[in-house]
Structure 1
Amino acid sequence: MKSFCLPSVLISLASLAGLAVNASAAPASAAMATPALSTVSERSGFIQTGRYDEVIALCAEFQKTYPDAVRCLEFGRTPEGRPMLALVASRTGALSAAQARQQGVPVTLIQGGIHAGEIDGKDAGFLALREALDNTRAKGALDKQVLIFVPVFNIDGHERFGRWNRPNQRGPEEMGWRTTAQNVNLNRDYMKADSAEMQAMLKLINDWDPLATIDLHVTDGAKFEHDISIQVEPVNSGDAGLRQSGRQLRDAVIADLARQGSLPLPFYMSFAKEDDPLSGFVDSVPPPRFSHGYFALRNRFGMLVETHS
């Protein structure tokens, strides 16, 4: 593990996390003229989100538009038969796992929709990827790394659309469901790998060995002034050197978000005793059934991004 990889990771992560906040909070007037490769979310002023057919179409269109920098990859099939898609993006020429290993290029994996009702990351991710490829945001980041973007992890759950799946969440108008078609919560399945979706994801991870994995969520619980939280491991556990780099990663992203006008926190805002605000908050080591707890056991960085309603 080499610390020189971290700056390039930080650039793209901060950009994407900031866009996730903006996408969830933007008013309808934020919609701009329809750009190439735009999403239903952008065109609706961030009040709607598209169905999975849009992900399939955009994955192919990104590869067509940026043939030297993007590869549309199918890495599995869901129990209901839908393709699990990832966009591999880089200006290094490394668009396969073998090429990335041969060239020693660091890999960052960003995933949206592990809880498919929490879908800001899908729409913000497509926007961030397009701007990174066009060098209008995170300039030069793709010259230094491979970025793997999984727009939706829980695809079958994503297609269980409804207006009241997340009644306390601030948009979109309709969204998917938290668990899979088999009622599996994928963010409790990293260690067990009971689900077909997790088995496919872990194969992708084993093939590419990402230095950092960023898991994008939205919470619909208690209302806070703070609009986003960033958790990273190793920070509270693990190798001392990795903990120092984990704090560097977390603090740099938080600083970038603050400069963009957000009010970020370095811990997840859950009460020590559920439904008792007077009990305070606890910042502890996440168990490995969660994404950011799991990757610490692999001596890699896991980041949990939670935008807050």
Structure 2
Amino acid sequence: MFAQQLAFEKDPDKNTTATYTELIDFYTSLAKDDPRARLLEVGPTDIGRPLHLFVLSADQVFEPQAVKRQKKTVLLINNGIHPGEPEGIDASMLFVRELLRENKLPKDVVICLIPVYNVAGMLNRGVSRANQNGPEAYGFRGSAQHYDLNRDFIKTDTRNAWLFQQIFHTWDPDVFFDTHTSNGADYQYVMTLIATHRDKLDPALAKFMEQNFTQPLYARMATAGFPMVPYVDPKEDTPESGLVSFLESPRYSTGYAALHHTIGYMPETHMWKPYGDRVAAMRALMHELLHATEAHGADLVDLRRAVKRRVRQQQEFTLCWKLDEKHAEKLPFLGYQASYRPSELSGFARLYYDRSKPTTIDIPYYASYIPDVRVIKPAAYIVPQAYEKVIALLKLNGVQMHSLEKDTLIRVEQYYIDHYKTSAAPYEGHYLHREVHVMPVSNEQMFYKGDWLIKTDQEANRYIVETLEPQATDSFFNWNFFDAILSQKEYFSLYIFEEEAVRLLQENPEWRKELELAKQQNKELAASGRAQLDWIYKKSEFYEKGHLRYPVGRIKQLGQE
């Protein structure tokens, strides 16, 4: 028992990571030998192999509802979302084995651990990260369908994302930890850290996280020999220009967790440090996070319950954020001197870091974001049943809803998409929209038996609002779930509609005045007969009401449904 040696330990250079078979055999063996551990198969991933969940419970209570009734704290650890960044995989094996072997399992913390999330990526073993110092072979970033799974938590294009959300809402973790390796600048730190951004959390939860988790983690990791710094995202080319606090939107794992009031950490070890050091730093951070969770878990459980009660009554929600560039903190930073020299390849100036010249300097840290777009929630949303994936994801995420029992004419506010931009190139299988502007219109709209009514007096309000409001950064609209409304289905023939347009202007002389004014303000309209006919067509009864009309209705007052 516990004698199993890991591939990482067998290598005297500490430059080897476990294969998929070694990984699953390890957890299977632990679960077989110790009643405090269970290895669960959640369901098939995108390559057919199961997504596993390893659960540790000191008193052998493995039923999630029982865990919640006992007010135990749940810590969820996710590994291998990018299997080319494998130190979390190896560190977790060392971590759980030590907890069991040395009887260090806290009695009031249940640990749920995903050994590897991107199974297909781990099976696709080789070398693919040119800027990374080991291990000798490792997995690939992309999934079986070539998705980056850490961009899939809202759109849920993969089985893996669907299964993760099942795990998340089955166990409702209080603390989430997702292991990664960085790219980018060079500096002295082995470990950098992304914490759930404080501006996006309930203020009381943000303060609690900062005081009882984030600050102690930095202090204790420094004592352990692994000083940390926030994730190195330079404002310009080098860290000396200042760092920008990473704002994880809900497409990312910790951003998704924040929608459900779970505090999260995304550790990023430095890609060019020796692999053994990276594993050691990740293992140390796991222990320190568990220490904080054990010490403050009971209070965190109570606070999250209070936050979930408050969000039921919350009226205003932020949909988009912008960096506050007027305020910056001073951050001590252990770097290397950066400079430029001619490239041996191109002759152009190239950036390099001189490791023989370590630096210790104070740099600006832009750590605050301010709301850019806000919305007042309606009393309820109503979603047509035709949008099956939207409905399925809402249900998967614990949204309470009920279907209409009969066809009903309901007064709703609906948005017309007034303006938006779309990426020129595909991004994770989508042409992502952004900078959406809407024009709200109140009308009576027919909804049908089987359409779904969603009241906004529930714990899932943040998820509801940030997916169903089209202006939100990672809304279902921005991820193309409703793109069919953006194209017309009926048009007109120029030679036929010309006479109809003349008649319409004669019957509506105010249109002619509006058209003349529009032509004065728009040179392209003035120069195009086709555009002028289209202007008149869109004023007429022939123009389809559904074009650019966002189909999700907002009910201002309940009782109208």
2:180, 2:19 → 1: CA distance?
18
In the alignment, structure 1 residue 36 sits paired with structure 2 residue 7: no
Q: For residue 15 of structure 2, what is the aligned residue in structure 1?
A: 47
2:57, 2:216 → 1: CA distance?
22
Q: For residue 56 of structure 1, what is the aligned residue in structure 2?
A: 24
1:250, 1:76 → 2: CA distance?
34
Q: 1:161 to 1:122 in 2, by over 3 A?
A: same
The equivalent position to 1:255 in structure 2, one of 216, 219, 232, is 219
What does 1:216-255 align with in structure 2 at a 5 Å threshold? 216-247=179-210, 248-255=212-219
What is the Cα deviation at residue 104 of structure 1?
2.2
What is the Cα deviation at residue 188 of structure 1?
0.8
For the aligned residues, what is the CA RMSD? Answer: 1.8
Helix, strand or coil: the match of 2:31? helix
In the alignment, structure 1 residue 192 sits paired with structure 2 residue 159: no
Q: For residue 266 of structure 2, what is the aligned residue in structure 1?
A: 304
The equivalent position to 2:119 in structure 1, one of 129, 148, 155, is 155
- Segments of structure 1 that go 5 or more residues without pairing to the other structure are 1-33
Mean Cα displacement is larger for which, 185-194 or 37-46? Answer: 37-46
What is the Cα deviation at residue 207 of structure 1?
0.5
The answer as to whether partners of 1:110 and 1:150 remain within 8 angstroms in 2 is: yes
- Segments of structure 2 that go 5 or more residues without pairing to the other structure are 273-561
Q: For residue 102 of structure 1, what is the aligned residue in structure 2?
A: 69
Deviations 1:176-220 (A, max 9, x none): 111101111111111111111010011011101010110000124
The answer as to whether partners of 1:166 and 1:220 remain within 8 angstroms in 2 is: no
Amino acid at match of 2:263: F
The answer as to whether partners of 1:234 and 1:301 remain within 8 angstroms in 2 is: no
2:246, 2:89 → 1: CA distance?
28
What is the Cα deviation at residue 127 of structure 1?
0.4
Helix, strand or coil: the match of 2:264? strand
The equivalent position to 1:209 in structure 2, one of 169, 172, 194, is 172
2:246, 2:134 → 1: CA distance?
30
Amino acid at match of 1:83: P
Identity of aligned residues (%): 32
2:112, 2:100 → 1: CA distance?
13
The equivalent position to 2:57 in structure 1, one of 85, 90, 96, is 90
2:202, 2:69 → 1: CA distance?
26
1:174, 1:98 → 2: CA distance?
40
The equivalent position to 2:108 in structure 1, one of 144, 148, 152, is 144
The answer as to whether partners of 1:41 and 1:48 remain within 8 angstroms in 2 is: yes
The equivalent position to 1:117 in structure 2, one of 64, 68, 84, is 84
Q: 1:107 to 1:286 in 2, by over 3 A?
A: same
The equivalent position to 1:170 in structure 2, one of 129, 133, 137, is 133
What is the Cα deviation at residue 159 of structure 1?
1.0
Deviations 1:13-37 (A, max 9, x none): xxxxxxxxxxxxxxxxxxxxx9613
2:47, 2:8 → 1: CA distance?
25
Helix, strand or coil: the match of 2:181? strand
2:232, 2:239 → 1: CA distance?
10
Q: 1:234 to 1:96 in 2, by over 3 A?
A: farther
2:182, 2:33 → 1: CA distance?
34
2:113, 2:202 → 1: CA distance?
27
What is the Cα deviation at residue 244 of structure 1?
1.1
What is the Cα deviation at residue 102 of structure 1?
3.0
What is the Cα deviation at residue 307 of structure 1?
0.7
1:151, 1:53 → 2: CA distance?
11
Helix, strand or coil: the match of 1:236? helix
Q: For residue 39 of structure 2, what is the aligned residue in structure 1?
A: 72
TM-score of the pair, normalised by structure 2: 0.46
What is the Cα deviation at residue 276 of structure 1?
4.9
Amino acid at match of 2:158: S
Question: How many residues align structurally?
Answer: 269
Helix, strand or coil: the match of 2:198? coil
What is the Cα deviation at residue 142 of structure 1?
2.7
Q: Which runs of 4+ in 1 moved over 6 A?
A: none
The answer as to whether partners of 2:191 and 2:269 remain within 8 angstroms in 1 is: yes
Amino acid at match of 2:28: A
Q: For residue 242 of structure 2, what is the aligned residue in structure 1?
A: 280
The answer as to whether partners of 2:56 and 2:110 remain within 8 angstroms in 1 is: yes
The equivalent position to 2:255 in structure 1, one of 277, 282, 293, is 293
Q: For residue 6 of structure 1, what is the aligned residue in structure 2?
A: none
2:4, 2:71 → 1: CA distance?
30
